[in-house]
Structure 1
Amino acid sequence: MTNAGKVYIIGAGPGDPELLTLKAKRLIETSDVIIYADSLVPEEIAGFARAGAQIYGSKDMSLDAIMSVTLQAVADGKTVSRIQSGDPSLYGATLEQMRILESEQVDYEIIPGVSAAFAAAAVLKVELTVPEVSQTVIMTRAEGRVAMPEGEDLVDLARHGSTLVIFLSVTRMFRIANQLQEAGYPADTPVAVVYRVGWPEELVIRGTLEDIAQKVRDAKITLQALIIVGQAVNPSLLDPNSGEKVAVSHLYSDEYTHLYRRAGHGDHADADRADLYAPEAMRFNRKPSHP
């Protein structure tokens, strides 16, 4: 395309404008055209646009309308920021947009954002991959109007017993709770539901597979909520008085040797470590040279 501009598909994060990456903010501030998912992205994020930029909310726009605005702007040599909620790679509905950009030979770039999954984990103060508890995270959704591919039914996935992060499914909370128990999760498995994470109205509901569905119904939550299931969200993991033994990561363990530290204590171990890793330490801590 002659004098063509460029498109940036930007992950805006879960809602808190301060969770934008520096790159995302810079691009929004300098783009000529802003198209943002105004049902999921705060207006404040679109408000970072420079004076004179064209701003479109996409909640009422079809794919054809969005791409018509985008392609016309690019043909005019303009820069377009297409702002999605969370991270574009997870339930971002970006593939169909990228296919059109590819077919039109438009230059585009994807700017990652903070997923609601990780924002929710931060709010809950949990680690989704706890040693000896869960080392696998499955991100999925419950089947509804969108059919699941073969082998990705929630019951099939749940049989792994790992940490489950379930998007776009809070209206099916009773069915989810039943399916997960059918798959082998105990009724007392911890569950956390985080509504509108990163927004002023953010709400956290904790429970178990036995009672979480009723708690969600009582809170009248029907959209924009993330469900996290598994022992990784068990509040007792943070409680030093719970009496439960919690495994410690090898990363900082005195009993574990890795590239930068040897197992053991005392001067002898320190001396061995210095001898063994001095070249690496010098390589990674070398001061920059100046002509």
Structure 2
Amino acid sequence: MIYFVGAGPGSEDLITVRGQRYLTEADIVIYAGSLVNPALLKNTKEDCQIYNSAYMTLPEVIKVMEEGEKAGKMTVRLHTGDSSLYGAVREQMEELQRRNIAWEVCPGVSSFCGAAAALSLEYTLPGISQSVIITRSEGRTAVPEKESLRSLAAHQATMVLFLSSGLAEEVSRELIGGGYAPDTPAAVVYKATWPEERKFVTTLSLLPEKMKEEGISRTALIIVGNVIDSGFERSKLYDPCFTTGYRKGMDTQNAGKEKGYESRNDCLQ
């Protein structure tokens, strides 16, 4: 069996319990060495064969998997964050399917979750943004025209950009050109959850200058949107006046007054 495992955003204790178990049981581990924390490998078996996919091509990765399968060995393909985001897993699965090799996916904590934690950020705030766009700027690998940054900017949603920290000039230009205000808050988190994590908040117009000043051009996420620094409405979920499937909201005109609530504003406080 081949196990695609999400290694988490960086910190070795942010891999899932299941993912950690698979690593300790694996006979072969192929890990994304350019991004995965090598400390995760310290609990592998003494005779575990370990390969760094940063130096491998797709055919070479598949060959290791296929040979391991023929030998009755368990292989873990260790991807950074969660393999469903920019993990290039689909092409591996297609090759395995062609060879009638079974696989299973173990999800992981994505770096965009680690970045939110580093910033104490909630991506979805009532009245500000209820959508998160996860995307990247066009570089050596093309982006579908309908998903250009300029096009996506029209939604004014919270945006998280992967693989774009070396393209700050383009990110700033395209997002402002697409509709974001130049003073829209922008945050950068370098190596989220790693010991060397760094972070800062600036504005979209000043983003390129600030990233150059900080010397960050890779292994960082860019977050754009008013959720970073803005007022917001309180959630209805815990509003005393709001009825849910688990509790009845207070009637501020009747029962609420017994508790001192003269108006809905009082109820919310």
3-state SS of 1:109 partner: strand
Rounded Cα–Cα distance in structure 1 between residues aligned with 2:78 and 2:51 = 10
Instruction: Say if 2:8 is the partner of 1:13.
Output: yes
Rounded Cα–Cα distance in structure 2 between residues aligned with 1:253 and 1:96 = 47
Report the CA distance between 1:172 and its aligned residue.
1.0
Report the CA distance between 1:230 and its aligned residue.
0.2
Give CA-to-partner distance per residue, 1:138-166, whole Å, 9 cap, x none: 00000111111131011000100000001
Which runs of structure 2 are paired with 1:1-291 in the superposition (5 Å)? 6-234=1-229, 237=230, 244=231, 246-264=232-250
List alignment gaps of at least 5 residues for structure 1.
Answer: 1-5, 238-243, 270-291
- Structure 2 equivalent of residue 279 of structure 1: none
Moved over 4 A (4+): 265-269
List alignment gaps of at least 5 residues for structure 2.
Answer: 257-269
Q: How many pairs does the alignment contain? A: 255
Question: Is the 8 Å Cα contact of residues 205 and 216 (structure 1) preserved in structure 2?
Answer: no
Question: Is the 8 Å Cα contact of residues 254 and 265 (structure 1) preserved in structure 2?
Answer: no
Give CA-to-partner distance per residue, 1:93-141, whole Å, 9 cap, x none: 1111010111111110011111111110011001000000000100000
TM-score (norm 1): 0.85
Question: Is the 8 Å Cα contact of residues 114 and 193 (structure 2) preserved in structure 1?
Answer: yes
Question: Is the 8 Å Cα contact of residues 35 and 81 (structure 1) preserved in structure 2?
Answer: yes
Rounded Cα–Cα distance in structure 1 between residues aligned with 2:24 and 2:40 = 10
Report the CA distance between 1:268 and its aligned residue.
6.2
Letter in 2 for 1:23: R
Q: RMSD value over aligned CA atoms?
A: 1.5
Report the CA distance between 1:46 and its aligned residue.
1.5
Question: Is the 8 Å Cα contact of residues 11 and 86 (structure 1) preserved in structure 2?
Answer: yes
Question: Is the 8 Å Cα contact of residues 128 and 163 (structure 1) preserved in structure 2?
Answer: yes
Give CA-to-partner distance per residue, 1:185-221, whole Å, 9 cap, x none: 1111000011111211111021001212101011111
3-state SS of 2:199 partner: strand
3-state SS of 2:97 partner: helix
- Structure 2 equivalent of residue 283 of structure 1: none
Give CA-to-partner distance per residue, 1:39-58, whole Å, 9 cap, x none: 11111112221221111111
3-state SS of 1:129 partner: coil
